[in-house]
Amino acid sequence: MQTRLAKVNQLPVHTLLALNHGQPYAFNQVTPPITETPLLISFQPAYSALEFTWQRPVTSKEYRECMRFIGLCIAILRVKYLLVDFSKMGNPSPEDQHLTESFLRKALKHTTLVRSARVIARSRLQQNMYEAVINSGIFLPYETKAFHEADEARKWLLRNPFSKSDAPDCSVVIPHNASLKELKKFATAEAVSPDVVVPAETITENPETKKHPVTRCQTSFVEVIVDRENSYIVVRWLRKVTSREYRYGVLKAGRALINSGVRGLISNNQRLQTLTLQDQAWLTRTASYMFGKSKVERVAFITSADMMQQMALESVLTRVQQNTGRHQTQYFFSESDALQWVRDTH
């Protein structure tokens, strides 16, 4: 009995409440094993509408990873109308809410979203969670509203000027663990206008870039593109790398950053793994030196759906910012959004 109590007492409070639908946890209750997928995802290309339905209470790790995946889907699929059903999810901890919402607000600052509907349970805890988001004082660049029923949320989301005859009611189911490559296939499907999405691989092939000389250096694992005319550098990691490869790529990009005098840096980390502690410490020292010697003003990062990668990167950049304090940093889910932000100053 003491062993069981000890195990239960190790669970965070929000998990204990979530497991029992917001009621105090019964210590003699046996929790069934988690087998159901945490998210169901449905995409309607004709409307640029995306729907996420949480299927069960989730762990802290699942919550953070899924929220990042939601942000990734919004950016890659160029979603305009979003519905997220939280009613079965339980209640994430304040720390988890703050971490994910802070990241999503930064990453979706240039979002294509027009309206966002939330479906929440009738429990006081979930209503308080939603009210805390609304009353945070941070401006949201799209309409948002909460509902208790998914059908009501859909009607509000796709209200006028939409009608049933506007487009076929064709939904595509997206796996909750879909890769970046798979998401881009959904984004470029026939039902989506081909000019809606600019894949990361083709960013440097736009007509404006072709007019100006561009310096390109590429290995099997990293690509560095210097556009002096538009004053930015793009660093694309092409796969997971060893520590030696990573440091080589960073130094190559750093030399280009200092020598070119450009004011914008874009690092596409979508295919990069989480850095080791040793590489994080090395990057802090190296980036502090490089940014201090360069003229860079804006630094944009395109992150993967890996929450650990994001947390490690934010930790490094916080220390770099303290050492240099001159540049702005922003996170994105797509290279096209990052490029637009970097070039806004030029």
Domain residue limits, the chain? 39-187, 200-343
Tell me the pLDDT tens digit for each residue of 272-310.
888 888 888 889 888 888 888 899 999 999 887 677 777
CATH of 200-343, one of 3.40.50.1480, 3.30.750.24, 3.40.1280.10, 2.60.40.10: 3.30.750.24
Q: What is the pLDDT, as a whole number, of residue 199?
A: 33
pLDDT at 327: 81
Under 8 Å between Cβ of 309 and 276: no
Q: pTM for the whole thing?
A: 0.52
β partners of residue 53: 40, 85
Q: Is 12 buried (19+), middle (13-18) or exposed (0-12) by CB count in 10 A?
A: middle
Check residue 232 and give its pLDDT: 93
Spell out a b/e string for 25-62, using b for 16 or more CB atoms within 10 Å of the CB, else e: beeeeeeeeeeeebbbbebbbebbbbbbbbebbbbbeb
Run means of pLDDT, 10 residues per run, the chain, 346 residues: 43 37 37 64 84 89 84 85 89 76 68 87 79 65 86 85 49 78 68 32 38 75 91 93 90 90 92 87 89 90 76 82 79 86 75
Helices (H), 218-303: 243-260, 277-293
Structure tokens, 240:
């997971």
Neighbours of 114 (CB within 10 A): 14
Task: Report the pLDDT value the prediction gives residue 168, as an integer from 0 to 100.
Answer: 43
The torsion angles phi and psi of 52, rounded to 5 degrees, stand at -115, 130
pLDDT at 13: 35
pLDDT of residue 226: 92
Q: What are phi and psi for residue 143, nearest 5 degrees?
A: -70, 145
